[in-house]
Amino acid sequence: MDKSSGDEIWEDSFDKLLDPRPQQSNLNIIKKNVRLSYNIDTSVENSSHSIKGCSPKSCNRSVSISTPNYNHLGKDLFNCGLSPINRLQLDGFEDTTEKCNADKDAEPNTKKRGLIVPSKNQIDTFSKFSNQTNKVACASNQSNKIVGVVLKPGKWRKSLNIFRQTQISVLNESKKLESRNSVCQDRKSIFLNGLNKQNVISQQDFYKYCNQGKPLKFNAAYSQYKMLKTHKIGEGAYGEVFRYTPNRKGCKNDLVLKIIPIEGSIEVNGEKQKNFSQIWPEIIITKKLSSIQGFANIEKVSTVKGKYPQHFVKLWKRYDDEKGSENDHPGLFGENQLFVVLELHFAGSDMSNVIFLNSEQSFYALQQIILTLAVGEEDYQFEHRDLHWGNILIKSTTKKHICFKFNNTDLIVDSKGVNITIIDYTLSRITIDECCYFNDLSNDEELFQASGDYQFDIYRMMRNELKEYH
C-alpha cells in the first residue's frame, strides 16, 4: 500500500487500526456512512453487509461498520507468528521472476505468480511445447518466444505437471528429477494404521461404504431430469465440479458434484488415475469433517461406471468455451470407466474471486477459518496442508452468527454476512480412533519446488518445520 497516499486510500475506519502510524490513528475521522471504530461493542450487531456477487435482494450495501471484538474468544487464543520467507530456486531452472517483472513486455501479473523459467538450452525444445500453451500459462516476450511457465497462486500443480511431462526429456536432469516425476505420476494416498502402512480398501469395501453392491450406471444415477440449472463451476487436477439444484422436494441446498475418474489406465489431466485406496483418505476426511461447521458438507458419495453423460460433456464444453479448461475433454472416457462422485453442498465462490465489502468482513471470515481449523485439529488432529485461497469458499448468509463447538465450548462469531467453507482435502491428514489417514508428502518433491509466490514458500517452510514428519 502506498504510505504517502492521502486518507482516501483507506477502505474503512477499521483499516486504520491495522496501521501503527500515529498520524493515521489520530486521524480516525468519522467518515460519511462509516461509524467510528473505537469502543464499539460488537456483541451488538451494528453492521449491514454484502459481498460482491450476491444478489441485491439479499445484500444491501454497507452503511456502517463495527469494530471486531474478540474478547469472548479470549485474546491470546490465536497467537501466531510468521517466519520470514526464504525463496528457493527450482532445481534445473533459473528463477527470473525479478528479471521478467522488469521487462516491460512481460505480462503485468507475473509479480503475483510463480514463474519458472527454463535455461537457454531448454527454450528451443520448449517451443515445440508451445501447442500446449492453452494448457499451461506461459509468459512470452514480444517476438512470441516463450520464456517461462507461470504458475498461478492457488491451483498450480496441474500446470506444472503437464509442463514436466511434456518437457521431461528436455529437462534431462539428474536421476533425482526422473524419480521425482515417477513419484508425481503415482499419487501417494496412504492409509496408516499405527505404524503399519497398508493399502487397505478393496473395491467391494468401497462400494459397501457407498451403500452399493456394485457401481451405478453413470447416465442413470445422474440423469439430466434429476438436476436443474446444472453448470460446471470448477475443476481440479483430479476431476470436474458441477453445480445443480436437485429436482426433488425438500432439498433446500444447491449441490455440487465432484466427479473423479478412478482405477482406469488412461492418464487424465496429466495424472495417473487414483485407485480406491488412494482416494480413500479424502473420502474418509470429507465424511468425518462434514458435520463440523466450516468444512464441506457432504450429502453422499457414490461410485458410477460408464461414458461421461452427454449433458455433462455439453456443460464441460460450455465452460471450456467461456473460461477455458485446463482439463482433458471428458469424451475420452469409455464404457468401463469408473468414477467416484462426491455430492457436496454448494458453498460459494473461492476467496480469490470474492471481494470483501470491507476489512471487517474479511476479519470475521478469518475468524471463521481459524475456528474451523481449531475445531478440526482439536477433534481429529486435522491438518489441511494446502490451504490456499482457492480452497476457501465464501457464501453470503443472512445468519447473524456462526456457531462453533471447540472442546465442548460454544464459540460464537459474528458472520457479518459471510459464511466460509474449507475444501479440498487431497493433501490433508486426519486421525480417527488412532488411525491416521493422509497423503504422504515426504517424497513429493514437486510440491516443494515452485517459487515466486508466498504460497509456494509456505510449502517449504512447513516442510522445514516438520522435518521428518510426513
Binding site feature residues? 258
**Of residues 138-177, which lie at the interface with ligand ATP (CB under 6 A)?**
155, 158
Instruction: Specify the 3-state DSSP secondary structure of 232.
Output: strand
Taking CB under 6 A as the criterion, the residue among 100, 171, 192, 344 binding ligand ATP is: 344
Regarding 305 and contact with ligand ATP (CB under 6 A), the answer is: no
Residue 386 annotated as catalytic: yes
Task: Confirm if 241 and 235 have CB atoms less than 8 A apart.
Answer: yes
Task: Confirm if 303 and 211 have CB atoms less than 8 A apart.
Answer: no
Beta bridge partners of 215: none
Taking CB under 6 A as the criterion, the residue among 371, 393, 413, 441 binding ligand ATP is: 393
Regarding 259 and contact with ligand ATP (CB under 6 A), the answer is: no
Backbone φ, ψ for residue 88 (5° rounding):
-100, 150
Instruction: Specify the 3-state DSSP secondary structure of 257.
Output: strand
Grid coordinates belonging to 242: 458441477
Among residues 402, 296, 358, 400, the alpha carbon closest in space to that of 52 is found at 358
How many residues of this chain interact with ligand ATP, rule: CB under 6 A? 23
Distance (Å, whole) CA 27 – CA 16: 9
Residues 6+ apart with CB under 8 A from 170: 118, 122, 125, 126, 129
Taking CB under 6 A as the criterion, the residue among 114, 118, 239, 417 binding ligand ATP is: 239
Taking CB under 6 A as the criterion, the residue among 107, 379, 424, 453 binding ligand ATP is: 424
Regarding 423 and contact with ligand ATP (CB under 6 A), the answer is: yes
Grid coordinates belonging to 235: 475443476
Q: Which of 386, 414, 424, 444 is catalytic?
A: 386
Beta bridge partners of 178: none
Regarding 418 and contact with ligand ATP (CB under 6 A), the answer is: no
Regarding 292 and contact with ligand ATP (CB under 6 A), the answer is: no
Annotated binding-site positions for ATP? 258
Taking CB under 6 A as the criterion, the residue among 95, 107, 263, 350 binding ligand ATP is: 350
- Our CA angle for 174, 177, 181, nearest 5°, is 145
Q: How far is the CB of 278 from ligand ATP (least distance, A)?
A: 13
Which listed range, 161-169, 182-190, 205-213, 340-348, lies at the site for ligand ATP (CB under 6 A)? Answer: 340-348
Grid coordinates belonging to 293: 461447521
Grid coordinates belonging to 220: 442413470
Taking CB under 6 A as the criterion, the residue among 159, 426, 439, 455 binding ligand ATP is: 426
Which listed range, 12-20, 285-293, 325-333, 385-393, lies at the site for ligand ATP (CB under 6 A)? Answer: 385-393
Catalytic residues: 386
Which residues of the chain form contacts with ligand ATP (CB under 6 A)?
A: 155, 158, 233-239, 241, 256, 258, 296, 344, 346-347, 350, 390-391, 393, 423-424, 426
